[in-house]
Amino acid sequence: MAETFKYIHASDLHLDQPIRGVAELPPHLKSSLANAPYEAAFRVFDEAIAERVDFVLLSGDLFDPKTSGPRSFAFLIEQFNRLMERKITVYWVAGQVDPPNHLPSGMELPCNVITFSSSDVEVVQHHKNGTPVATIMGAAFAVDRDEFSDFFASPNTPFPIAFTHGEIEPALTEKSNIRYWAMGGRHTSLEKKTTDGWIVYPGTPQGRSVFETGSCGCTLAQVDGEQELRLSKIETDCIRWLPQIINVSEDTSVDALKNTLAERASKISRDAPQKNALIHWHLLTTGELNPSFRQAARRNALTEWLRTEFGAASHGCLWTTSVSIEPPKQLPGQWFDEDTILGEYLRAIGRFQNDERLGISLQEFLPKQFKHGSFAGMAQLTQETRAEILNESIMIGVDYMATDLSNDQPPTISSPDDPEST
Ligand SMILES: [Mn+2]
């Protein structure tokens, strides 16, 4: 029977990358948000120690030496030293931003850290009690890598692990005899079965934006005496992005919506107690546009209510980042037909919605000094953001220009001496 062993696989720590897209933040969440990337990475190394793993695989993008200060590197050295004291080896393969051979000068890695900086495959065998248990074939990220045939092991190689960063097609892993593809470069986790084993992207230990939703962490792999592999996910994130979609029909009342939101909020708390969450509530209109939520001011009031009700705790806090509404596919026909500024405005947006070939050029609105460089990129719309912006433009137009406010006014309390009150 072969020696058993286990390892933790993590990637894309991006220590220097802050959490993005949260405009207003209460004081009680500020420090936990600022420290979340470090906190999550710390948990990865903590788990390695608690699980008494044999080694740790770090599949690149740990931090960007060009943009980060000394904190990231000092933090990593500290963690590597903690692992060294416990005789845990660290394998680190270069991702897109962190070639280990480009580390700040004068900074030295502890001797338990083995790096892979070349884009050619280098092979290292990991030994346990004098026998080789795993064969690590590491190669740094390469922009032009389109084949993976160099990652290949002969049938009797001890547990072959391919170790790199970038995108891979499962078809390219066939006949490689690789048991585990330790990949990096995707920020959301992914496990895929291959003919010989698994492709694993553990994802980032801490989601940074609304595009990195749900639980984040690292992967624990255990290989038993029969060479069978067992995978499990370990959650390490401190703050979780949990966007929510709520259906709203034309006659949903504000109170009914608040009940639905409260139910959803308590379900989130039950599923992940003690976990701070950032929530964007997206109201999806079924039927016709609900007049109670069509004005931005009403949605802002809802945001305030959500923050007060569920966002006050410093543990298990559900912080509402925003409330948005998606207009129904069909707005009242007369709005489009009416001979008003709103009618003309909606007809113009409709033309853009119906013809994707109609480009939206925002470049011309950029101030002269921002026409080139990184700002210019923000004026380029993807198909998805184009649809989103058109939707939002409709809501802004309706908000400012729709005249039929008869159902929109908040209920007024009638005074007793008003002859018309009943
Ligand atoms: Mn990355």
Same domain, 62 and 149: yes
Are 220 and 10 in contact by the 8 Å Cβ rule? The answer is: no
The answer to whether residue 412 sits within a structural domain is no
Across the range 78-89, mean pLDDT stands at 97
CA of 172 to the centre of ligand 1 (A): 22
d(CA 310, CA 323): 14
Which of 179, 210, 238 is the last residue before a domain boundary? Answer: 238
Which of 218, 238, 258 is the last residue before a domain boundary? Answer: 238
Same domain, 275 and 217: no
The answer to whether residue 408 sits within a structural domain is no
What is the 3-state secondary structure of 94-115? Answer: CCCCCCHHHCCCCCCCCCCEEE
How distant, in Å, are the alpha carbons of 99, 353, 387 from that of 384? 33, 12, 5
d(CA 132, CA 5): 11
The answer to whether residue 409 sits within a structural domain is no
Same domain, 234 and 245: no
CA of 212 to the centre of ligand 1 (A): 11
The answer to whether residue 356 sits within a structural domain is yes
CA of 187 to the centre of ligand 1 (A): 6
d(CA 1, CA 222): 15
pLDDT-based confidence at residue 412 (cuts at 50, 70, 90):
very low
Which of 209, 238, 267 is the last residue before a domain boundary? Answer: 238
Across the range 131-136, mean pLDDT stands at 96
The answer to whether residue 420 sits within a structural domain is no
CA of 68 to the centre of ligand 1 (A): 15
pLDDT of residue 100: 65
Same domain, 217 and 174: yes
pLDDT of residue 420: 40
Same domain, 255 and 204: no
d(CA 409, CA 396): 18
Are 125 and 134 in contact by the 8 Å Cβ rule? The answer is: yes
Are 150 and 136 in contact by the 8 Å Cβ rule? The answer is: no
What protein residues have CB closer than 5 angstroms to ion ligand 1?
A: 12, 61
CA of 84 to the centre of ligand 1 (A): 26
CA of 13 to the centre of ligand 1 (A): 8
pLDDT of residue 104: 65
d(CA 34, CA 316): 17
CA of 104 to the centre of ligand 1 (A): 20
CA of 324 to the centre of ligand 1 (A): 29
Pairing state between β 217-223 and 5-10:
antiparallel
CA of 289 to the centre of ligand 1 (A): 40
d(CA 148, CA 378): 35
Contacts of 152 (CB under 8 A, 6+ apart): 176, 177, 178
Same domain, 228 and 244: no
Same domain, 247 and 213: no
CA of 382 to the centre of ligand 1 (A): 21
Same domain, 10 and 114: yes
The answer to whether residue 324 sits within a structural domain is yes
Amino acid identity for residue 191 in this structure: E
CA of 61 to the centre of ligand 1 (A): 5
d(CA 253, CA 380): 38
Q: Taking each helix axis from N to C terminus, what angle separates 383-401 and 341-354, rounded to the nearest 10 degrees?
A: 170
CA of 63 to the centre of ligand 1 (A): 9
CA of 322 to the centre of ligand 1 (A): 26
Query: Residue 326: in which H helix or E strand, if any?
Result: strand 318-326
Q: Is the pLDDT of residue 238 over 70?
A: yes
CA of 411 to the centre of ligand 1 (A): 51
Q: Which residues pair with 127 in a beta bridge?
A: 132
**Residue 285 buriedness (CB in 10 A; 0-12 / 13-18 / 19+):** buried
Same domain, 324 and 360: yes
pLDDT of residue 275: 84
Strand, coil or helix: 270: helix
CA of 351 to the centre of ligand 1 (A): 38
Q: How many residues does the chain have?
A: 422
Same domain, 131 and 143: yes
CA of 109 to the centre of ligand 1 (A): 21
Same domain, 216 and 262: no
Least confident stretch, 28-32, 66-70, 195-199: 66-70
d(CA 26, CA 110): 39
Same domain, 128 and 214: yes
* CATH (domain of 134): 3.60.21.10
Amino acid identity for residue 334 in this structure: Q
CA of 97 to the centre of ligand 1 (A): 8
Residues of the domain holding 294: 240-401
Query: Residue 80: in which H helix or E strand, if any?
Result: helix 70-85
The answer to whether residue 422 sits within a structural domain is no
Query: Residue 390: in which H helix or E strand, if any?
Result: helix 383-401
pLDDT of residue 70: 86
CA of 12 to the centre of ligand 1 (A): 5
d(CA 45, CA 42): 5
Are 316 and 28 in contact by the 8 Å Cβ rule? The answer is: no
Distance of CA 271 to the CA centre of its chain: 19
d(CA 291, CA 250): 7
Least confident stretch, 37-51, 160-174, 208-222, 347-361: 347-361
Looking at the structure of the chain, the number of domains it has is 2
Amino acid identity for residue 63 in this structure: F
**Which residue has tokens 């929510």?**
244
CA of 236 to the centre of ligand 1 (A): 17
Q: Is the pLDDT of residue 304 over 90?
A: yes
* Percent of the chain's residues with pLDDT above 70: 94
Contacts of 117 (CB under 8 A, 6+ apart): 94, 99, 100, 101, 140
pLDDT-based confidence at residue 421 (cuts at 50, 70, 90):
very low
The answer to whether residue 411 sits within a structural domain is no
CA of 392 to the centre of ligand 1 (A): 30
Token pair for 151: 């990652």
